[in-house]
Structure 1
Amino acid sequence: MDAPEPPPAPRRYPPKPRPGDRVAVISPSSGLPGLFPRPYELGLRRLESEFGLVPVEYPATRKMGASPAERAADLHAAFADPDIKAVFASIGGDDQITVLPHLDRELVRAHPKPFFGYSDNTALLAWLWNAGITGFHGASVMVELGRPGALHPRTAESLRAALFSSGPYELTAPGASNDVDRPWDDPATFASEPVLAPCDDWSWRRPGRAAVEGAAWGGNLEVLSWLLMADREIGPPEAYAGCVLFLETSEELPPAEEVFRVLRCMGERGLLRQFSALLMGRAKSWSFQRPLGREDAVAYRRAQREAVERALDAYAPEMPAVFDVDLGHTDPQLVIPYGGVVRVDGPARRITVTY
């Protein structure tokens, strides 16, 4: 409905919910809860049993093919309802960019609430950034909350801190992770937890001699590339001066060369050199379409890192960067406050977010 404006300063952290509060569950991208009810309903139960929250569904939450206007109406209703204290995306998708023109920024500014989502929800998180509201990158209902067997303890701890606390929270590497999916239409999938395998620790590039601190901005790289192409929700380069960039890639497994090209375009636009640090998520390296074996997965992640470093060498050679951070399409997953304060302490090898 309206063009992005420079966000007000300082950016607001919305009021936090409390156990017993009602929270909205909406599908601003895809209505997959209607096709795969098992992980979705498991996620709803866990919002109640593990976090003490009361989930509230909306008309398009389980509707495949809902129009952009219908999805925007659900979001408006969730933010405008005074009894709703937070908003969760059910899952991602690939066309949330079509919803943005239907959104009313003034309505959401008047009723700020924590929004949780990632992947295609990067579009909405960037939109909230331009409304001056901190969102939360992570914790979809179907994936993280609907995880087979049990919530991962690291994911649960991070989400609980993001939901209910307001202070600093140190992110830590898990030592083991998983990115192999199992079919949601098979009941056997939900009988046991995913099998984790040892994973590399976070890797630091040019950690520098002092810590840096700034507001977090970024999200899923593929979605950011669409926003750049459509000229949506991406401000002038100076709007991101001193911010901490965080990026991750999806189960579509973009080729390393494509990752480089997107970052090259961000560099040519003058964006990359504005950021004080980069957090690069542990690359998803398995999908049903490309079920990579262990050696091929290692090679894929290595090639993606090399592509990112090539772009940094060209456009932001002194920028500190941390690779394989457990954000985005990872298990476990750490929640990143989108617009919230992130401190990257290279000398101490520590990352702290403020929820």
Structure 2
Amino acid sequence: MPQPSYPAKPRPGDRVAVVSPSAGLPAIFPEVYELGLRRLRDELGLEPVEYPTTRVLGAHPADRARDLVAAFADPSITAVLATVGGDDQITVIPHLDDAVLRANPKPFFGYSDNTNLLNHLFGLGVVSYHGGSVLVHLGRGGAPHPVSLDSLRAALFTSGWHELTAPAEWTDEPGDWRDPAYLGTEPTMFPAEGWRWSGPATVVEAPLWGGNLEILHWLLAAGRVGPNADYAGCVLAIETSEEMPPDTEVYRILRNMGERGLLAGFSAVLVGRAKAWNHPRPLAAAEKRAYAEAQRAAVARALHEYAPDAIVVYDLDIGHTDPQQILPYGGTVRVDAADRRISVRY
């Protein structure tokens, strides 16, 4: 399969679609959503355009697909941003009009359940962007994190190489959207320990594929992942969600990918920092460390067994933790294990 091509980028002042192809959480948290929209206008200079299901909870998959297709088809729209993730976007994908998406490629931004659409666009030959959320990142309490905002701005408006750097702080303990004080309160941040590297001290430059690990497992079960040859030589990016899958499940998902022959084809693997805290499951500091260590060990075990020659980098800020850095999905990534540097071509 040929490497996907980059769609044209928006410019400040452009109209961009804001859609809810997964959960319509703006219906439940309108204040957080409106804060995200204001920052989209004020911080990024873009004019958000909503669609009929953007603020609808439980919209039919066909209706959500219709909004996505309309956003891509509209010549006045220059990018498409997801409000948030969810858990049923897999039911939306069959309703899409692929001919329209191919004929009108646009940058799409989303992560988590939006892995469904990122993977679908990859198959259509369109580069998209893993990361960004109107609710989570632009609607962050207090202010957007500078690392998240800088990465989103670069991915939206630039087309060259952008070097990722390990932030000095991070958190997986976001504020509660139900708390009246949320909008004015920044989350508690913790010192970051930096990335962890393993594998050969070589340089890999290749297209990126992957996303949320749980969603990738669903896509494989549903037959939505192409033949192994389509991903051979790619850089794999994986991260886990706020559902906090146990390390045994993380290992088994990767083992299944290995038994299929998929893992052996990846030249490098970027592993997101594990989210080890959630409002329904607020682990203590020692429990969080144990969870993250067990997840790293599970990933390392599977990669040692099925992709022993791959460069592996752990604890990147590319998923459900804060801040978040954007990855070009289908776009080019350079992983330099000799100098321990990672660059992405936005």
Normalising by structure 1, we get a TM-score of 0.96
CA distance in 1 between counterparts of 2:201 and 2:117 reads 35
- For each residue in 1:130-161, what CA deviation from the matched residue of structure 2 results, as whole angstroms up to 9, or x when unmatched? 01000000011000111111111111111111
| Deviation of the 1:200 alpha carbon | 1.7
Residue 76 (structure 2) aligned to one of 83, 87, 101 = 83
C-alpha offsets along residues 199-229 of structure 1, whole Å, 9 cap, x if unaligned? 22100011x2321111010000000000111
Q: Distance in 2 between matches of 1:186 and 1:325?
A: 29
State the aligned residue count: 346
- Structure 2 contact 3–207 (Cα < 8 Å) conserved: no
The amino acid across from 1:171 in the alignment is: L
Q: 1:209 aligns with which of 188, 194, 201?
A: 201
Q: How does 1:152-231 map to 2 (within 5 A)?
A: 152-206=145-199, 208-231=200-223
Q: Is the 8 A contact 2:175 2:185 kept in 1?
A: no
CA distance in 2, matches of 1:64, 1:309: 39
- Equivalent position to 2:128, from 130, 135, 138: 135
Q: Which amino acid aligns with 2:81?
A: F
SS at match of 2:210: strand
* Among candidates 1, 19, 26, match of residue 19 of structure 2: 26
Q: Is 1:320 matched with 2:277?
A: no
Q: Distance in 2 between matches of 1:35 and 1:230?
A: 30
1:279 alignment partner, SS class:
strand
What is the identity, as a one-letter code, of the residue corresponding to 2:191? P
Corresponding position of 2:91 = 98
Does residue 332 (structure 1) correspond to residue 323 (structure 2)? The answer is: yes
Instruction: Measure how far apart 1:105 and its partner are.
Output: 1.1
Query: In 1, Cα distance between the equivalents of 2:53 and 2:202?
Result: 48
Amino acid across the alignment from 1:57: E
Q: Distance in 2 between matches of 1:204 and 1:185?
A: 38
Mapped to 2, the partners of 1:63 and 1:118 lie a distance apart of: 20
Counterparts of 1:267 and 1:111 in 2: how far apart (Å)? 35
The Cα shift of 1:249 comes to 0.1
CA contact (8 A) 2:14 2:78 kept: yes
After superposing the two structures, state which structure 1 stretch, 182-191 or 266-275, moved more.
182-191
Shift of 1:193: 1.3
Indicate conservation of the 8 Å contact 2:333/2:345, yes or no. yes
SS, match of residue 91 in structure 1: coil
**Seq. identity, %:** 60
**CA shift at 1:303, angstroms?**
0.1
Distance 1:210 1:64 in 2: 47
Structure 2 residue aligned with 1:280: 271
Q: Could you list the runs of 5+ residues in structure 1 that have no partner in the other structure? A: 1-5
Runs of 5+ in structure 2 lacking a partner? Answer: none
Which secondary structure state, in structure 1, belongs to the residue aligned with residue 102 of structure 2? helix
1:38 maps to what in 2? 31
Question: Using the alignment, how far apart are the partners of 1:181 and 1:194 within structure 2?
Answer: 5
| Mapped partners of 1:186, 1:317: distance in 2 | 46
CA drift of 1:183 comes to 1.5
Amino acid aligned to 2:220: L
* Cα drift, residue 310 of structure 1: 0.6
| Counterpart for residue 336 of structure 2 | 345
Residue matched to 1:267: 258
Supply the distance in 2 between the matched residues of 1:87 and 1:348 (Cα, whole angstroms): 35
**Normalising by structure 2, what TM-score?**
0.99
Runs of 4+ in 1 over 2 A off after TM superposition: none
Is the contact between residue 168 and residue 192 of structure 2 (CA under 8 Å) also seen in structure 1?
yes
Question: 2:217 is aligned with what amino acid?
Answer: S
Name the structure 2 match of 1:240: 231
1:147 maps to which of 134, 140, 164: 140
Letter in 1 for 2:91: T
- Note the C-alpha offset of 1:306: 0.3
**Residue identity matched to 1:218:** G
Report the counterpart of residue 108 of structure 1 in structure 2.
101
Please give the secondary structure, in 2, of the residue aligned with 1:109. Answer: helix
Is the 2:3–2:330 contact (alpha carbons within 8 Å) kept by the matching residues of 1?
no
Deviation, structure 1 residue 98: 0.3
The residue identity in structure 1 corresponding to 2:323 is: P
Cα displacement string for residues 265-306 of structure 1 (whole angstroms, at most 9, x for unaligned residues): 000000001010000000001011211010000000000000
Q: 2:31, 2:277 → 1: CA distance?
A: 22
How far does the alpha carbon of each residue in 1:141-186 deviate from its partner, in whole angstroms, 9 at most, with x for none? Answer: 0001111111111111111110000000000000210111221122
C-alpha displacement of 1:116: 0.3
